Amino acid sequence: MSNIKCQCGHENPYGTELCEQCGRPLSEKAQQSEIVDMRYEGSSRRSQTYKSSIVDKIWNFFSSVKIGVSIIAAVLIASAIGTIFPQKFYVPAQTEADYAEYYERLYGTVGKFYYELGFYDMYNSWWFKVLIGMLATSIIIASIDRVVPLYKSLKKQRTRRHPSFMKRQRIYGEGDVANPEESLSKAEEKLKELRYHVKTENGAILAEKHRFSRWGPYINHTGLIIFFAGILLRGIPGFYVDETMWLREGETRNIVGAPGYVLENRGFILENYTKEEAAEVFGAALDKVGNIVKTYQTDVTLYKEKEGSLPGSDNLEKMQDYSIVVNKPLKFNGYNVFQMDYKLNELSTMTFHLMNKSTEKSLGEFTVDLSNPEKAYDLGNGSSVNMLGYYPDYDGIKDGEPYSKSPIPNNPAFIFQMNTPDKPDGEKSFVAIRQTLEVEENDYAVKFASAETRNISGLTIRKDKTLYILLLGGIIFMIGVIQGSYWQHRRIWIQKNSEDHVLVAAHTNKNWFALRKELDKVRESAVLPAYKDRQDPELDKQEQEGDEK
C-alpha cells in the first residue's frame, strides 16, 4: 500500500482517484470515465483503503453512507411502527398484565403481537436505543473519514490542472481564441466582479467561491452529536428533574424534586369562553362544540427556606406570587412548574348543626375544616362539640374501630362528643355521610348542614440542565445545514493550453443552473470557447431550436 506518484510529481495517498494537485485521473475507473466523479474531490477516503484488522472492518462499516442511510431507514420504520397503536405511556394501565390485556382487548391479535414484540414501548426498547447509538456512531465516523481528506485535497489543489482533468468535468469547452491573454485577463476581471477568489498561474485561472459551504455537513453533524450528548447527560442524576404533584387549594407543600422550595396553592381557576365576549366571531363555534376552555390557572405563592435553616424547620421566606397558566410556567432557579392537570370538587369543609332530636331545635352550627379540624367547637350557651375521632376516607369498621383507607377526605366520618347544658357529661355519636351510629339512644344529634369543596391542581416540576446543550446542538445544526444548503461551492478553471487553444471547465456541488448563468456572464465579457453541460443534452437541443425561432 504505497503512495501513488502522479506524472506531475505529486505523491498521493493510496486509493486516490484524482491527483490532489493537478487533477490527473489516477485510478483506472477515473481514467475510463467520461465525467469524473468529483465527490470528495476524488481524494482517498481512508475507509476504502485499509481493510486489515477487525477494528478497521467495523470502522469501514460505520463509515459507509449506504450503512448510514440504512440505519436512518431502520429508525424511520421503527418510529412509524411505534405510532400504529398508542405507546405504553399513553395507556391507562399499571401492571404488565394490564398492558397485555389492554392491547389484546382493543386491538385483538394484532394488538397482542404488538405488545409481545415490545412495540408498545418502542422508544424505550434496548434495540431502538442501539439503533440511535449506531446512527450517532455512523455520523461521527463517516464525518471524520471524509472531512480530513477533503480538507487536504482542497488545500493542495493547484491552479493549473491537467487537461485530462478538465476534459472530464461536467461543464467543459475548448477551442481556439484570437487573443488568449486578453481573454484570460478579461475573464479574471469579470470573475472578481462576480465575487470569485481568483488565482492565476502562468496562463491558468482558478476561480472559486463559497468553499465554506463544503464544511456545512460536518458542522451540522457536530450539532447533532452535541444534541445526542445532551440527551445522554439527562441520565445522570441532578441534570434532570421530572416530578408531578397534586396541590389542593389552600395547601402549602414542599415542591417535589425542588428541595428547599415550598409552594402554596391560593386557588385554582377553570374558565370557559362565554358568548358575551365575542359572539360575532366565536358564536358559531361555541354553538357547535359547546364549552371551550379558556384558562386553567393556579394562583400560587412560592416560599424558600431561609439561608442556614434546616429542611422542615418552616423557617420560610416568601419569594413571589404567581399565576401558573398553560404556556406560562412558574420559573425559579432553573426549575419550571407547569399547569398540567386538575381535579374539581374535593370536599374541603363540612358544616353541622347540633340538634335536639325531640324538639328539632338547633343549638348552633360549626364548621369542620377537613384538612385542619379542631379538637373542640364551642357553640356558646354552654354547648360544645368535641372531636373524638376523625376518619377522612372512612371505609367501614376494622378490628372494632372505624377505619380510614387514606388521608384524603373522600368520605369523612367523625366521632363527636356533644356537650349540652342538659347532658354536661356528653353524648357520643358516630357521624358519617348518610349514616349516624349511637352507642345508646341520645337526646342530641349532629346533623349535616352543608359542605364546601375545593379544587386540586396537578403540577409538573421540571429542571433540565441539558436544555442549553440541546439548544446549542440545534443552533450548530442549523448553522451547518444552512451553510451547506444555501451556498454552493463553485469553481471555474480557464487555461491556455497551447498557442491559441483555451480550455474552460467548471464544477459546483449543486445548483448548476446558477453556475452556468455565471459562466455565461463571463463569456459575455471575455472571448472564450463555447461549453457544454454534458449531463443536460436537452439544453443544447432546446437552445438551438430556440435560437432558430
Partner 1 sequence: MDLVAVSSNLLFVSFVAYLVATLFFGGAIKKSTTEKAYHNSKWGTIGLVITIIGFLAHLGYFFTRWAASGHAPLSNMFEFTTAFGMMLVGAFILLYILYRTPSLGLFALPIAIIIISYATMFPREVTPLIPALQSKWLFIHVITTVIGESILAISAIAGLVFLVKNIDMTKKSKQRFWIEAVMYTLILVLGFVVTTTTFKVMNYEAEFTYIDKNQAPAEITYHVPPLFGMNEYEAMTPDTMTPWLELPPIINAQKLSSLVWAVAVGSVLYLLLRLIARKPIAAVFQPLAKKANSQLMDEIGYRSVLIGFPVFTLGALIFAMIWAHEAWSRFWGWDPKEVWALITWLFYAAFLHLRLSRGWEGEKSAWLAVIGFVIIMFNLIAVNLIIAGLHSYA
Partner 2 sequence: MAKKNKKTIRLISRTVLLLILAAIIVYAITSKDKVKVLAEGDKAPDFELVDLEGNAHRLSDYKGEGVFLNFWGTWCPPCKKEMPYMEDIYKDFESKGVHILTVNVGEPKVKVELFRDDLGLTFPMLWDKNKTVMDLYNIKPLPTTFLINPEGKITKVIKQGMTEQQIVEHLESIQPK
**Burial (Cβ within 10 Å: 0-12, 13-18, ≥19) of residue 8:** middle
Contacts of partner 1 in 374-433 (CB under 8 A): none
Q: 189 by DSSP, 3-state: which?
A: helix
Nearer to partner 2, 267 or 373 (CB): 373
Q: Quick check: 81 and 121 in contact, CB under 8 A?
A: no
Place of cell 412558574: 330
Please calculate the CA angle 217-226-242 and round it to the nearest 5 degrees.
140
Nearer to partner 2, 108 or 133 (CB): 133
- The nearest distance, CB 55 to partner 2, in angstroms, is 5
Nearer to partner 1, 36 or 177 (CB): 36
- The nearest distance, CB 117 to partner 2, in angstroms, is 18
Q: Which does 387 bind (CB under 5 to 8 A by kind): partner 1, partner 2, none?
A: partner 2
Q: Quick check: 104 and 115 in contact, CB under 8 A?
A: yes
Nearer to partner 2, 189 or 393 (CB): 393
Q: Which does 529 bind (CB under 5 to 8 A by kind): partner 1, partner 2, none?
A: none
Instruction: Please count the other Cβ atoms lying within 10 Å of the Cβ belonging to residue 39.
Output: 13
Nearer to partner 2, 136 or 166 (CB): 136
Nearer to partner 2, 31 or 406 (CB): 406
Letters for 207-246 (x = contact with partner 1 by CB under 8 A, - = none) are ----------x------------------------x----
| Alpha-carbon distances, residue 395 vs 404, 410, 435 (angstroms) | 6, 10, 13
Nearer to partner 1, 163 or 474 (CB): 474
Helices (H) and strands (E) in the chain, counts: 12, 24
- The nearest distance, CB 358 to partner 2, in angstroms, is 31
Q: Dig out the grid coordinates for 478 from the structure.
A: 442549523
Contacts of partner 1 in 245-274 (CB under 8 A): 273
Question: What order do you get walking across the sheet with 171-176 strand by strand?
Answer: 197-201, 204-209, 490-496, 501-508, 171-176, 532-533
Q: Dig out the grid coordinates for 474 from the structure.
A: 440545534
* Size of the residue set binding partner 1 (CB under 8 A): 72
- The nearest distance, CB 83 to partner 1, in angstroms, is 4
Q: Quick check: 210 and 488 in contact, CB under 8 A?
A: yes
Q: Which does 216 bind (CB under 5 to 8 A by kind): partner 1, partner 2, none?
A: none
* Long-range CB contacts for residues 466-469, cutoff 8 Å, separation at least 24: 466/230, 466/231, 466/233, 466/234, 466/239, 466/240, 467/230, 469/226, 469/227, 469/229, 469/230, 469/233
Q: Which does 254 bind (CB under 5 to 8 A by kind): partner 1, partner 2, none?
A: partner 2
Residues lying near partner 2 in the complex (CB under 8 A) = 46, 50, 53, 55-56, 58-59, 126, 129-130, 132-134, 136-137, 140-141, 232, 234-235, 237-238, 240-242, 252-254, 256-257, 259, 262, 309-314, 371-375, 387-390, 392-393, 398, 403-407
Nearer to partner 1, 206 or 286 (CB): 286
Q: Which does 373 bind (CB under 5 to 8 A by kind): partner 1, partner 2, none?
A: partner 2
Q: Which does 474 bind (CB under 5 to 8 A by kind): partner 1, partner 2, none?
A: partner 1
Q: Is 527 in the site for partner 1 (CB under 8 A)?
A: no
Contacts of partner 1 in 480-519 (CB under 8 A): 481-482, 485-486, 510-513
| Alpha-carbon distances, residue 299 vs 95, 337, 461 (angstroms) | 35, 12, 16
For residue 309, what is the DSSP state?
A: P
- The nearest distance, CB 279 to partner 1, in angstroms, is 11
Contacts of partner 1 in 428-467 (CB under 8 A): 460, 462, 467
Nearer to partner 1, 381 or 511 (CB): 511
Choose among 522, 500, 530, 529: nearest CA to 179. Answer: 500
Torsion sign over Cα 278, 280, 281, 287? positive
Q: Which does 123 bind (CB under 5 to 8 A by kind): partner 2, partner 1, none?
A: partner 1
Contacts of partner 1 in 103-162 (CB under 8 A): 106-108, 123
**Residue range at the interface with partner 1 (CB under 8 A); choices 1-9, 158-166, 325-333, 440-448:** 325-333
- The nearest distance, CB 340 to partner 1, in angstroms, is 6
Q: Is 329 in the site for partner 1 (CB under 8 A)?
A: yes
Contacts of partner 1 in 284-303 (CB under 8 A): 284-286, 288-289, 292-296
Choose among 173, 208, 171: nearest CA to 35. Answer: 171
- The nearest distance, CB 482 to partner 1, in angstroms, is 5
Q: What is the DSSP string of 116-142?
A: HTTGGGGGGSHHHHHHHHHHHHHHHHH
Q: Quick check: 430 and 438 in contact, CB under 8 A?
A: yes
Torsion sign over Cα 64, 66, 72, 75? negative
- The nearest distance, CB 379 to partner 1, in angstroms, is 45
- The nearest distance, CB 336 to partner 1, in angstroms, is 7
Nearer to partner 2, 95 or 498 (CB): 95
- The nearest distance, CB 250 to partner 1, in angstroms, is 23
Q: Which does 285 bind (CB under 5 to 8 A by kind): partner 1, partner 2, none?
A: partner 1
- The nearest distance, CB 260 to partner 2, in angstroms, is 9
Place of cell 390557572: 297
Q: Quick check: 163 and 496 in contact, CB under 8 A?
A: no
Q: Quick check: 188 and 198 in contact, CB under 8 A?
A: yes
Contacts of partner 1 in 42-101 (CB under 8 A): 65-66, 68-69, 72-73, 75-76, 79-80, 82-84, 87, 89-90
Choose among 273, 270, 300, 301: nearest CA to 286. Answer: 273
